[in-house]
Each structure stands twice: as structure tokens, then as C-alpha cells.
A and B are shown apart, each in its own frame.
Chain A
Amino acid sequence: MRADEKSDRISRRAWFGYASALLLTRSAQGQAQSTEGTPLEDDRVSLSSMADVEGTLTPTDRFFVRSHHAQPRLSLKTWRLRVEGAVANPLELSFPDLVETSTRSLEGLLECAGNRTGLVSNGLWEGVPLSGLIRQAQPKEGAKRVLLQGADKGSLVPDMPESHYSRILPLEKCLAPETLVAFKLNGQFLPRRNGFPARAFIPGWYGMDSVKWLTRVRVLDAFDWPTVYYSSGMDLLYQRYVKFGTQEQITGRVAEIQVNSGFSFPPPGANLAPGRYPVRGFAWAGPHRVEAVQVSADRGNSWSPARLEGESRPFTWVRWNYDWTAPKGKHLLMARAQDHRGRWQPIRRDTTRTDGYELNWYPSVQCNVL
């Protein structure tokens, strides 16, 4: 495809991508507000609560779920993972082939790009490094990107043709040692709702790239632009949309998880007796370490350092706590985290952004001290 054709294609579809991104984000947030902690009848969304986490791992049955399409029912007898495309030695792996390959375990956080609350969880993942499979398939010279495709299928917006959920990632990220084809979570085989029998796990990147129910890894060369990916509008999702005057433009792809934090105690709207309380929560910074967390009990007028419980590591979250002496009254507690590069969470949403992603401004929780 020529460059001018590609830019023309994007401009014709910009309205569509923007509309579908908003639709998905609003749908997730609307459901999130009404269903804290409980799975919906719709199996595509289930929220997770940090209050359920003891230690650092979210219990498997409390892991958040956010999917575009209904969960496919896959048989271990027939499931295959194909590694193909611009490779010299295409592979087809059965489930036994995957299980009988050397694995790596990694504690890692998964966060939906549209998370404000409830769409983030942390688990111990076990799987086969994707780099090993791609190298075994021998990528051809010029291969730069990889399409990951799941078995789930549907229309991204009504009346559009059905397509398998898929994402295109840079080859470099797929060859990173931490990137896995995961088949276990917290020591158990993946639950169906989290991608059984195998999914991609892309540590440090927002969850949309960790394709669930993975069936296909297609290595792409410079001339390979998968038609369905572009015609379904998949390419226009998870982009940063920024308003410039009256115009909106895509300024880049959403990928790396931004520094963020959340409260696990007190719960929103808690009624407490006057006294001392350990305010608790988690902080994370994608592929970076968390440097510090601060808490404000006076609507952001003053900030005090919270204690990090243990050493912060890339890809996972760290627990923090803060001793708060709660006087009578209504209170708004706020938190903010800083990554080791010195980047703090923003105080508010960038007003020029019109998409629904990277919602990492200060979290807050309101409570009443009686």
C-alpha cells in the first residue's frame, strides 16, 4: 500500500474510529459504575476490587474482564496456535505442544486502557515466551510488526462486518523477554473469561494488546497490511485523539501503561468511627518502577508521603499505606504516584484529549467519620 493511500484511508475512517472508541469506552464505564465487583450477565465486563487483594495478587475469580466480543468456547482437542506470515518456518502448536515447552513465570499487572476504577488486576502469569516461538518460526528480513489474533469474533460497531479481535504490535515488543503466550494465571489454567486456553500477555502495556483466546501470530513485513484489521476499524481503536481548535487528530497509539494508583481502603462512601486508620492502596507505572506515593486528606491542599510495602518492580504494582487520624466529618482522600523517571500522575484529565483512554489522574475516595 502506498503511503498516500494509507493516509486517505485513515482520514475517511477517522470519524468511525473515533465514534467506535467512544462507544466502547462509554459502554465499559457505564457498566463499571453500575456493577462494582460483580460479573454482568454480559460476559464481556466484570470489575475487580483492590479490596479483595491480599498480598499483591488479585484472586483469579476476581480478575477484571473487558472484552469486545462474547467469549468463545474452545476445545483443547482442536485449539491450535499458528505462527505464520513473514516467516521461513511456520509453526502450528497444539495445547500439549504449548504445555510441553519451557515456560517463564512473571508477576504482572493488566489494566484496561479505559480504566478509571475496577479495570485493573495483578496476577502471576505463566507461559511460553513469544520471542521463542517467533524466533523458531524464523522471521524474514523486513519483518517489523506482528498481528495477534484471538478466536473471539464480532462487529466492533453495529452493522460493520464481523472480524476476529486482533492487535498489531511492533515486532520488538513481541521479542521482549517478558512478553508471553500465557496459559496459567495464579498457578491455574486460565479461566475461559480471561482467555482460556492461551492469551498474549504484554507486560507494561494496556490490556487491549494482551489478546485473549489467542490463535494466530502473524508476522508482518512492510507490505503486509491485513485487510480485515483495517476494514473493521480495529486500527482506529486505542489511539490518542486530541482536539486542535475545531479539528481532532490521532497523535499516537495508546500502548504503555501510565503511572497510576488506587485505594483499597477505605471503600467509597465508608462510614467510620473517629480514630486512626491505615489508608491503603496500590500504585503502578507500567514498565517502570514506582518511586513514591503521596496522600492528601484535605482535597489536595497538602500531601503526605505514603509507605511503599516492599520494593516496587516493573510490570507489577506495589502496595502502599498511610496512617490517617480521622476526625469527625466528611472527607475526600486523594492519592498520587510518581514513577522512577519523576513523572507524577496528572491532577486532572488533559482537556484536549477526546478519547477515553489513559485516565490516570489522581484517584479519590469519599468517606464519613461519624
Chain B
Amino acid sequence: MQRALILIPAVLGAGFLSLFSTAPFVPARAAVQDAPLLSDLEGPQSRQALARLQQFFRTVPDARVPAVLHEILEETTAAAAHTMILEEYQRRKLHAQGRATLEALNKEHPARAIYAIDLVQLAVLEGDLDRAKADLRSAAARFPNDTELHASLGRWLYGRQQTDLALAELLRAQRSGLNDPQTNLVLASLLARAGALEDAIDTAATVVFTPGLDPVIRGEAAALAGKSHAILRDEAKAVEFLERAIQLSPQVEDYYLSMASAYQQADNPAAAVQALKRGWDRLPGAPGIGQALSRQLLAAGAAEEAVRVLALLTSRHPDHGDALRLLAQAHRSAGDAAKASQTWRRLIRQQPRYPMANIFLAQSLAEEGAPPGQVLAALDRAEQISPQDADLYYLRGRIFNSLGRHQDAVAQLQRAIRLQPGFSGAYYQLGLAYQQLGQPELAQEQFRRRSHLEEGTGRSR
């Protein structure tokens, strides 16, 4: 039987009556019979009733809390009310009293699963995970087939970031017949995270094929199954599930990206590009798809198409640094060094401390045929930001070599080598500088070092 919150005056005294002013001060058990408040916690007015309960807690002195809360815990099984009471114990640091109350109630009402849940929650709130585990095992032993108990514990633990324990409880719920699709989706994601990919796929599939369920949830489940198949290297199944995810929820960018990854993994870059183009058509300007598509296009040598994609992307997201970097590279690949330099300048205005931008700008200016002074100025700015970058000294050495300033080139290239002893291109440039300075032996030594470094690696810079 549900009784009313109005019983509380008997425990507290009349001081709090202003909150529940409809009742005169009368002894509790007699007064509560017809009062509706505790039953409201489980009825359509539950939200308001909870708010009043929370307001009421603020008026209860510590000394009276155990008695008050004991009565409420006994009188209602509304989970939200119990959670609020546990949080009240925690707020007042009354864990021991809370535990004593709950253990007493647990003993008194052995068939009520709610107290088993409360004990676990209290232990977690207290930060005592060993105790929480013991309480969970005890609950599992007493209520092995109570699906709702394990499911609600699993959901609550998941909300508290206790993902290992959440997984354990949801597995128990599943074993006893869990059929709530949203909870199954949580379980599937925990299983996937734990590496139990086949289990994750099986569980997600039950959600995908639940008729009448919100397509967004079914789409999430299909995507999870698809990604799990991809990790298991079953790309055909991955594509099948991801296709279903796209059909169920075509506005989710991640599904097109996952589909493209699955094709890429299956060594089918053309299909990967098609998946991304499909996503780009559906969600024009989507940053993840735009970047992935432009990378694929650049890898396939379609630089001008990549420029078009990135131009749209950077017009929609003008502050997207990665997209600007890609756009500069795309311009360079398309043979338009001037636009590449322009894009690097735009990025430098946005991110003046980005260390590589001035080096790339310098490279681009050099390719553009800009006056060496401009290139060197860009490198000077790079040096102020990132003085330990071997690339900038290498590039400066190259510029000095091209300007006939071979002695200056030697100093720069030696610095690049000090910073990066395996920098074979720097040895080559240093060799060229020595050659021009009339020191053939030193030049030959640099060329030999370069050959040695590149021996068997197939690398050259």
C-alpha cells in the first residue's frame, strides 16, 4: 500500500508544515491514510512530487534523516524517489546510516528487489566498488532471473560511467530475457568496446530488426553491427549493415565514413569514393565527409575535384584548419602554387602559432617562383615559432644554395642534420654546397652518407 509523504510531520515535528500545508499536525500513521503524495511519486504527477520531495529534504535536520528516509524507502518503490534518497544520503555523507537502513529493509522485505538495487547504488555513490561488487553478486544470487533489476542496474551503472559493471549487469539481464531495444543497444556498444564483437553483432541485430522501433535507434544498431563486422574483417557484412544504417538514418555523417572505411579496408577505393560522394550529395558541407572525400580524390589524382569539394567545405566552415590545410595541398597538387600560397596565408591568419604553416608557405612560395626574400621571410617566421624544426633549416639551405650563398647554406644544412641525423636530403644539399665551395672531398663524404642512409630504405628526400 502506498502512503503519503504527509506522514513526515510525525517524525519531524510541525516546523516543516508550511511545505505541506494542507495537513494539520497529527500522528503519522493516522494522518497518512488518505494523503496522496507518496503515491504521486509513481503516478502522472511524479515529476512534481519528486520536486516537492527534494524541496522537503532541505528542511530535514541530519539527526532525523535516517528515520524519515527509512519511512519513505519503505513506503514507495518508485525508482526515481529511491535514487533521490540515495543522493540525499550521499550529500549529507550519511552512507553508514543509509546502508544500515537499506540492509534492515532488505532483510524485512526479501522479495523486494528495489533494496538490492539501492544497496549497489549507495556503494557506488560512496565510491566503494568492492562493496558494490559484493552487493551485485548478492543481488544476482537472490534475483537471477529478474531482467528488470539487472537492466535497470546496468543502465544506472552505465550512466555513472561504471562501464565494466554495467556490462556485467546487462549481460545478466540479457541472459534472463532482456528485450528492451534501447538497453540492448547500450549492451551492444559495451560488448563492442569490450572486444566481444560477435556478441555485439548478435545483440545489435535484435535491435535492427525490431519492427516499429524509431529508425534512428535501429540505424545506430545497424552501424554498430557494421563497424564490428569491419573489425572482424568481414567487409561484405559490414557494408550490408552500414547500408541499412544509411537507409534508416541517412542524415548521420559517420555512417558514410564507416562505409567508406569498410570499402577501403576491402581494397576498393573506387567504392569508398562513391560512398563518400553519396554522403556529400546527401549532406553537402559535412566536414568529415568533405575531408575524407578530398583525401581520396587527392590520392586518386583528382586534385581539381578535391579543390571543388574543399572550397565548398571551407566556405561552410571557414575556421576549419584541417580543411584549409587540405585545400592548400589540393591547390598545390592541381599545379596552382599561387592559390596554395594564398590558402596557407589564410591559415596563418587564423592559426598564427601553427608551426608548420610558414614552412609550407615557404615551400609553396618557392614552387610559385616568388622572390627568395619572401620565402626566407616565411622561414624566419617559422623559426620564431618552431626553432627545432629540421625542415626549415633544410629549406633555407636549399634556398641559399639556389641563391649561390653556399657558405650560408652549409650552416643551415649542418643545423638541419644536427636536429635530424638521418636527414638524407640535407646531406645531399650539403654535398652540393661543398661542391660549389670547391671542397670535393667534403662533398663526396656527404653524398656517401646520403647513399648509406638511403641504402635499402628506398627513401630519398
Q: Which residues of A contact B (CB under 8 A)?
A: 73, 75-77, 94-97, 99-102, 189-192, 196-197, 271-273, 275, 368, 370
Contacts and interface: CB of A to CB of B under 8 A. Distances in A.
Contact of B137 (A73, A77, A100, A368): A100
Contact of B421 (A76, A101, A196, A272): A272
B217 interface: no
B191 A76 contact: yes
B393 to A, nearest CB: 15
Interface string B201-222: 0000000000000000000000
Nearest to B154: A96
Nearest to B450: A370
Nearest to A275: B421
A96 B169 contact: yes
A197 B196 contact: yes
Given A273-B421, A275-B421, A76 B171 contact: yes
Given A77-B175, A95-B171, A271 B194 contact: no
B50 interface: no
Given A77-B175, A102-B133, 11 more contacts: A75-B198, A96-B140, A96-B169, A96-B172, A99-B168, A100-B137, A101-B137, A190-B195, A197-B194, A368-B452, A370-B453
Interface in B181-207: 191, 193-196, 198-199
Contact of B196 (A76, A99, A100, A271): A76
Q: Is the interface of B mostly helix, strand, loop or mixed?
A: helix
Contacts of A102: 130, 133-134
A370 B449 contact: yes
Contacts of A73: 198
A196 B452 contact: no
B167 A99 contact: yes
Contacts of A189: 164, 193-195
B422 interface: yes
B199 A75 contact: yes
A129 B167 CA distance: 21
Interface of B: 130, 133-134, 136-137, 140, 164-165, 167-169, 171-172, 174-175, 191, 193-196, 198-199, 417-418, 421-422, 449, 452-453
Contacts of B417: 273
19 contacts: A75-B199, A76-B171, A77-B175, A96-B169, A96-B172, A97-B140, A99-B164, A100-B133, A100-B137, A100-B165, A100-B168, A190-B195, A191-B195, A197-B196, A271-B421, A271-B422, A271-B452, A370-B449, A370-B453
Nearest to B133: A100
B277 to A, nearest CB: 32
A95 B140 CA distance: 13
A213 to B, nearest CB: 13
Contacts of B193: 189
A63 B191 CA distance: 22
A73 B171 CA distance: 18
Contacts of B165: 99-100
A370 B452 contact: yes
A89 to B, nearest CB: 15
Contacts, number: 65
Nearest to B120: A100
A204 B422 CA distance: 39
Contact of B136 (A95, A100, A368): A100
A191 B174 CA distance: 23
Contacts of B198: 73, 75
A27 to B, nearest CB: 24
A239 to B, nearest CB: 34
Contacts of A96: 140, 167-169, 171-172
Nearest to A184: B164
CB-based closest 9 A-B pairs: A96-B168, A273-B421, A99-B168, A189-B194, A100-B136, A100-B133, A76-B196, A102-B130, A370-B449
Contacts of A77: 171, 174-175, 199
A347 to B, nearest CB: 31
Contacts of B171: 76-77, 94-96
A197 B175 CA distance: 17
Contacts of A196: 195-196
A273 B453 CA distance: 11
A100 B137 CA distance: 6
Contacts of B421: 271-273, 275
Nearest to B457: A271
Nearest to B167: A99
B137 A97 contact: yes
Contacts of A190: 195
B443 to A, nearest CB: 15
A191 B165 CA distance: 18
Given A101-B133, A102-B130, A192 B195 contact: yes
B130 A75 contact: no
Contacts of A95: 168, 171
Nearest to A196: B195
Contacts of A275: 421
A97 B168 CA distance: 8
B27 to A, nearest CB: 44
Contacts of B449: 370
B195 A271 contact: no
A370 B133 CA distance: 60
Nearest to B424: A271
A192 B191 CA distance: 13
A75 B140 CA distance: 20
B120 to A, nearest CB: 10
Nearest to A76: B196
* Best-buried of B165, B193, B199, B422 by chain A (most CB within 10 Å): B199
Given A95-B171, A272-B421, A100 B140 contact: yes
B267 to A, nearest CB: 16
Contact of B199 (A76, A100, A368): A76
A162 B346 CA distance: 66
Contacts of A370: 449, 452-453
A368 B449 CA distance: 11
B179 to A, nearest CB: 15
A189 B172 CA distance: 18
A277 to B, nearest CB: 9
Nearest to B170: A96
* Best-buried of A75, A94, A273, A368 by chain B (most CB within 10 Å): A273
Contacts of B136: 100
A197 B126 CA distance: 29
A97 B137 CA distance: 7
A75 B133 CA distance: 22
A65 to B, nearest CB: 14
